[in-house]
């Protein structure tokens, strides 16, 4: 294992970490940084529970090596709410009951964030297409779509993403 010094921005703060560059971001977030909101569901890029933002794009942290995040800006579910203010997506997920067990929720919200950052006026089929690779066993899909739609409306109305 070759230790590297890796610098990146995590939830708005500059951080430096000495670790093996081949380690996956998911485990570094969950252990080294104790940010456990990002979940493991499959480890192979198939479920989306581990989704975080790298440079504003939704990526699967279980598939992302640490050496590839050098100098990048990473946001996790913990970094989405500002000064205790929930992000419109978080509010909408809660208000629409867009979760049951809540295990897929962080990944869903982060993926939706990336989706809305590119399209604040998504149709239902845009949402379905954009969210399709995030899976949920509890069957919260219907309300997740509703939540994303309503968050989009609020964000379009001026709320900063």
Partner 1 sequence: MTTDEVTGLDFMEHSFSNTLPRRDFLKLAGGGILLFFTVGDLDLLAQQRRGLPTDFNAFLKIGEDGRVVCYTGKIEMGQGIITSLRQMLAEELDVALESVDIVMGDTDLCPWDMGTFGSMSTRIFGPALRKAGAEARAVMLELASEYLKTPIDSLTVENGVVYDKSNKQNRIAYAILAKGKKIERRAAGSVSVKKPSEFKIIGKSLTRRDAKEKVTGKAKFTSDIRISGMLYAKIVRPPAHDSKLVSVDVSEAKNMKNVQVIQEGDFIAVLHQYPDVAEEALSKIKVQFEKPELDLNEINIFDHLLKVAPEGKVVTKGGDIQKGESESAAMAEHTYLDGYKAHAAIEPHAALVHIEGNKANVWASTQNPFTAKEEVAKALGFSSEHVRMMPVFVGGGFGGKTTNLQIIDAARLAKLTGKPVQVAYTRKEEFFFDSFRPAAVVKIKSGIDSKGKMNLWDYHVYFAGSRGAEQFYDIPHHRTTAYNASWTGAAGTHPFATGAWRAPSNNTNTFARESQIDIMAAKAGIDPIEFRIQNLADKRMQNVLRSAAKQFGWKPAKAPSGRGFGVACGIDAGTLVATIVEVKVNKNTGEVKVIRLVCAQDMGLVVNPEGAKIQMEGCLTMGLGYALKEDVRFTGKEILDVNFDTYEIPRFSWLPKIETIIIDNQESDPQGGGEPAIVTVGAVVANAIFDAVGVRVYQQPMTPERVKEALKKG
Contacts of 140 by beta carbon, 8 Å cutoff, 6+ apart: 97, 98, 99, 100, 104
- When asked if residue 30 is in the footprint of partner 1 (CB under 8 A), the reply is yes
Instruction: Give the tokens for residue 6.
Output: 């890796």
Count of residues interacting with partner 1 (CB under 8 A): 62
Alpha carbon 127 to its chain's center: 15
Cα distance between residue 31 and residue 29, in whole Å: 6
Quick one: 19 or 100, whose CB is closer to ligand FES? 100
Residues 64-103 that bind partner 1 (CB under 8 A): 76-78, 80-81, 86, 89-91, 93-95, 97, 99-103
**Measured distance CA(35)–CA(53) in Å, rounded:** 14
Residue 69 engages ligand FES in binding (rule: CB under 6 A): no
Pick the binder of ligand FES from 136, 147, 148, 151 (CB under 6 A): 136
The residue from 48, 79, 88, 122 that contacts ligand FES (CB under 6 A) is: 48
Using the minimum distance from each CB to ligand FES, give the nearer residue, 95 or 120: 95
Report angle CA 16, 90, 123 to the nearest 5 degrees: 110
Rounded to an integer, what distance in angstroms lies between the CA atom of residue 103 and that of residue 82?
Answer: 22
CA distance 150 to 156: 10
Token representation of residue 156: 């379009």
Using rule CB under 6 A, residue 42 touches ligand FES: yes
- Interacting residues with ligand FES (CB under 6 A): 40-43, 45-50, 60, 62, 99-104, 136-138, 140
Residues making contact with partner 1 (CB under 8 A): 1, 23-24, 26-27, 30-32, 34-44, 46-47, 49, 76-78, 80-81, 86, 89-91, 93-95, 97, 99-106, 109, 127-129, 131-145
């Amino acid at each position: 294992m070759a230790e590297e010094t890796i610098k990146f921005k995590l939830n708005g703060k500059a951080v430096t970490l000495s670790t093996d560059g081949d380690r996956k971001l998911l485990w570094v977030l969950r252990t080294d940084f104790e940010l456990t909101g990002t979940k493991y569901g499959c480890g192979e890029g198939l479920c989306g529970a581990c989704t975080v933002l790298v440079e504003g794009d939704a990526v699967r942290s279980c598939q992302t090596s640490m050496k590839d995040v050098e100098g990048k800006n990473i946001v996790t579910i913990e970094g989405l709410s500002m000064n205790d203010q929930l992000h419109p997506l978080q509010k909408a997920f809660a208000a629409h009951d867009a979760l049951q067990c809540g295990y897929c929720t962080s990944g869903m919200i982060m993926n939706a964030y990336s989706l809305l950052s590119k399209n604040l006026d998504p149709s239902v089929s845009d949402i379905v297409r954009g969210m399709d690779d995030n899976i949920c066993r509890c069957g919260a899909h219907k309300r997740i779509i509703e939540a994303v739609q309503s968050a989009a409306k609020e964000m379009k109305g001026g709320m900063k993403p």
